[in-house]
Structure 1
């Protein structure tokens, strides 16, 4: 007797199990598969994508920053991002602009503006890998802010991964004080603190506001703040520079959306350390685009950071499976 794809299939133990659902397009099947993963694992996948896109973004900004002011780059970036989401905003008015947390939206705009201005200046003026490495200090800020503002419980494993990752950052900086007294290094650290706070605010906002609403307020608010200094320092971009500015806006939008989805799906302290993978991308891009090769300390620190990140992902995935099994057990016993 033939067995159709939807018939139960013997599993070798005498029992029959339902086969995986093979209906729908490959994209729909992939979406179904991903949706069944633990929430922190889904958040991890999103933040890995965001890390790659942010690395492309800062590379483009560093290249453009050789000729254009950071204010000009920022204002064009923000308005391109706004133009991308404009159709969805207009079609969904007034709901698409509705926010239940206007105070948090304003806070995010101010803190994000500070983080971007200081961080992009550091990227332009410092080697890409060094600026990226220093920015990883935001992990400590995220962990602390998550405890204070989100009430998240941080266990010894997450603290351990965070501390080990930051040790990797110190290795890359050669802890002799040389890197930390530089003005642009201080800019990078201050930017990291602001970025950490932004990540927590995003986590709070995703509880009440849609991702497109969060991104719209950020894009418009930062753009308006940067408009006056951008006009004061404006230089007419070449056709090539306009193309790169357009790419910055598109990649920034994709990175921001990935980041928002990451912190909507997973706990901040569980997935934040995965942002360390930006170092790998920054090292490769710095070498290929700017001929800036990392020091031995950078390579050693990168190994420590990536190891800590992989450990966090695997442990959170295992923890998610254990919680799911425990929930199934309670359901069966009831």
Structure 2
């Protein structure tokens, strides 16, 4: 059924420009991720986050199993086993922190704070990838950090909501995972990276899931299955979006998740984002978009300079 839906979407968009196709896929992915966190928040009222994560990974693993099996033994061969293990551990930690924050915080607040991963990606890229960051990117990063501080809203006693700190930890972990993936793609094929995360995170969650297991009702089982299916579909849409369009042209569309989260949070859970959350999210989004646009401009200037010197690659 999902394959038929995918083929219909491809057929409907085949004549559109590549960036438009990419944008549509990314918008669909953003909506899917918003539905996913709303489902997690809903089912998280009664079931532990370990149980939710374990079932989610099991469902996703079942869906991608044919791809993994077809790729054997290549899908299990890695040149960086230590780095693969590190990625699995970081991803599991990030998911635990991020999903717990989703369950405990208003949906829009948790989503807005998750955007701070852009800030952490910049910092980690400097530390681990030795990327050169200019004054403009540093300025945007600092501004984005101020947006994060604003969203955390420390009280008069200086204490920050611990669930907001978990959301920050989840965002930092997600940013670190992206850096590790970038390093792994230099030596390992995508199917291998997919296999290790799909299996590894589920394995980590197995014991705590068993210890906190509560027998789900039929309704809860349906919600848990939906979490896994929607997670897989959203990730697939995201991959297709970035495959079809230029990352610099479509990346900012991911921020539509805040709009979706605000609407879902209000309609389903009766939560409206605070003024501080909206202001902080606006600052982070503006800083991120500025960084993307600046990198586009810088890339064009470098290209023109190379052409002027008669360089080719």
Deviations 1:272-330 (A, max 9, x none): 88765543332222112211011222232333233223323333333344444444555
Q: Structure 2 vs 1, CA of residues 184 and 177 (structure 1 numbering), >3 Å: closer, same or farther?
A: farther
Compute the displacement of 1:97 (Å): 2.3
Contact 1:165 1:273 in 2 (8 A): no
Q: What SS does the corresponding residue of 2:271 show, helix, strand or coil?
A: coil
Q: Structure 2 vs 1, CA of residues 252 and 103 (structure 1 numbering), >3 Å: closer, same or farther?
A: same
Query: Is 2:286 the counterpart of 1:307?
Result: yes
* Aligned residue in 2 for 1:107: 86
Contact 1:276 1:309 in 2 (8 A): no
Query: Is 2:166 the counterpart of 1:187?
Result: yes
Query: Is 2:38 the counterpart of 1:79?
Result: no
2:207 to 206, 228, 231: 228
How many residue pairs are counted as aligned between the two chains? 304
Task: State which drifts further: 205-214 or 56-65.
Answer: 205-214
Q: Which has the larger radius of gyration?
A: 1
* Aligned residue in 1 for 2:220: 241
* Aligned residue in 1 for 2:135: 156
CA–CA distance in structure 1, aligned partners of residues 241 and 123 of structure 2: 19
CA–CA distance in structure 2, aligned partners of residues 47 and 61 of structure 1: 21
Query: Is 2:262 the counterpart of 1:283?
Result: yes
Q: Structure 2 vs 1, CA of residues 152 and 271 (structure 1 numbering), >3 Å: closer, same or farther?
A: farther
Contact 1:78 1:219 in 2 (8 A): yes
Contact 2:19 2:244 in 1 (8 A): no
1:70 to 45, 49, 67: 49
Higher-helix-fraction structure: 2
Q: Structure 2 vs 1, CA of residues 45 and 314 (structure 1 numbering), >3 Å: closer, same or farther?
A: farther
Compute the displacement of 1:106 (Å): 0.4
Please, what is the CA RMSD of the aligned residues?
Answer: 3.8
2:39 to 22, 37, 60: 60
* Aligned residue in 2 for 1:122: 101
Q: Which structure 2 residues correspond to residues 138-153 of structure 1 after superposition, within 5 A? A: 138-153=117-132
Q: Structure 2 vs 1, CA of residues 149 and 262 (structure 1 numbering), >3 Å: closer, same or farther?
A: farther
Contact 2:113 2:281 in 1 (8 A): no
* Aligned residue in 2 for 1:89: 68
Q: Structure 2 vs 1, CA of residues 259 and 114 (structure 1 numbering), >3 Å: closer, same or farther?
A: farther
TM-score by length of 2: 0.80
Which structure has more relative contact order (CA 8 Å, sep 6+)? It is 2
* Aligned residue in 2 for 1:166: 145
TM-score by length of 1: 0.76
